[in-house]
């Protein structure tokens, strides 16, 4: 159990670290360095966000988020996760 917790924390840290590095590159890197990382970073981040948002899509004609809803509360879709992404990325 301790080994699993340490591994999960390590993966958790690695995700935050990767996001920090991507933000830093986006702000500070010269154009050539940024281009070298952009293809992989954009593809990976886009795939991760797509998978994450799929978890929050209603299923089987429901109007509720399956991830945000629990035993005691059903959260209507778009849930806060979708609302935040739409606010950040929507045009």
pLDDT digits (tens, 9 = 90+) for 11-63: 889 999 999 998 998 899 999 888 888 888 888 989 999 999 999 999 999 99
Helix (H/G/I), strand (E/B), else coil: 89: helix
pLDDT score for 39: 82
Q: How far is CA 14 from CA 5, 9, 24, in A?
A: 14, 8, 15
* Long-range interactions of 44-48: CB distance < 8 A, separation 24+: none
- Per-residue pLDDT at 4 exceeds 80: no
**Residue 91 pLDDT grade (very low, low, confident, very high; cuts 50, 70, 90):** low
**Mean local confidence (pLDDT), 54-74:** 94
Whole-structure pTM value:
0.74
Q: Phi, psi at residue 42, to the nearest 5°? A: -65, -40
Helices (H), 1-79: 2-28, 31-55
Helix (H/G/I), strand (E/B), else coil: 77: coil
């Amino acid at each position: 159990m301790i080994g699993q917790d340490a591994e999960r924390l390590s993966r958790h840290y690695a995700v935050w670290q990767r996001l920090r590095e991507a933000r830093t590159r986006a702000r500070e890197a010269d154009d050539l360095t940024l281009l070298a990382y952009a293809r992989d970073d954009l593809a990976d981040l886009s795939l991760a966000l797509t998978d994450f948002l799929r978890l929050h899509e209603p299923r089987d004609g429901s109007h509720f988020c399956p991830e945000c809803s629990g035993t005691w509360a059903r959260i209507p879709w778009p849930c806060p996760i979708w609302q935040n992404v739409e606010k950040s990325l929507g045009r």
